[in-house]
Amino acid sequence: MKNKIILLICTLSVMSCATISYTPKIALDVSPKTIKKTIQIENLIDKMDIKSKQKPFGGYSVTDKSSLAGALSLEVTNAIVEDFNANGVFSKISKREENPDFTIKGEILNFKGKYRPTTAYWLTIPIDLIWFFGVPVMKDEIDIQIKLSVFDKSGKLVGEYYGNSNSSKLYSMYNNGMLGLPVRTNRGFTEAISQIREKIIFDIDKFN
């Protein structure tokens, strides 16, 4: 039993030191309509605290500082600009426009993509042989919440648009869910932005 606990601690310590690479990406199709306006977008404000971004003991987090190439606000904003431009949501959107028709400001209310041991994992350590019967010992948690606010040239609020997505999945010892964490997080990100795009297009008359 003592050797088992020592092995467990060593395994979790190694996992805690390991990292994954993550880049926020949106995978959506062309917008059904294009709003014929130029947009300047500011980097979204990251409302998450440092602790909520850190990877859990024995697990992983896509927002841990070791996982992202740049700041979360920068990476998320760049992904939105790339999607809105590539798929024709607006005539043009960028971070710097000489005389934009509208300005978008936004907030990252939550951007969780974590993979961690379950409660069952900790409770069954003394009888870990039951793991071979498919006990869910790991889980992922995805929770994306984004808000975009559109302002006209005078600074008047035109509309606020929210998008969110959350999901969770359990894994037995036979499934390595860690490898797919970046993809699953981006699915959640894509779903949140899809909701925002639909609401913006629904309000197309507000931009005329």
Q: Summarize pLDDT for 146-190 with one digit per residue, the tens.
A: 999 999 999 999 999 999 999 988 887 777 777 889 999 999 999
**Amino acid sitting at position 23:** T
Extract the runs of DSSP E, i.e. beta strands, from 22-175. 35-41, 45-46, 60-61, 90-94, 102-117, 138-152, 157-171
Q: What is the pLDDT of residue 6?
A: 45
**Residue written as token pair 């003394």:** 126
Where the chain has pLDDT below 50, the residues are 1-16
Q: What is the pLDDT of residue 90?
A: 97
Distance of CA 144 to the CA centre of its chain: 5
Dihedral of CA atoms 35, 37, 38, 39 in degrees, nearest 10, equals: -60
Q: What is the pLDDT of residue 206?
A: 94
| Main-chain dihedrals φ then ψ at residue 80, nearest 5 degrees | -65, -45
Q: What is the pLDDT of residue 160?
A: 97
In terms of DSSP H, where are the helices of the chain? 2-17, 50-53, 72-86, 119-123, 181-202
Q: What is the pLDDT of residue 149?
A: 98
Residues with Cβ within 8 Å of 68's Cβ and at least 6 positions away in sequence, in order, are 22, 23, 62, 75
Tokens standing for residue 72: 């979360």
Q: Cβ atoms within 10 A of the Cβ of 20, count?
A: 17
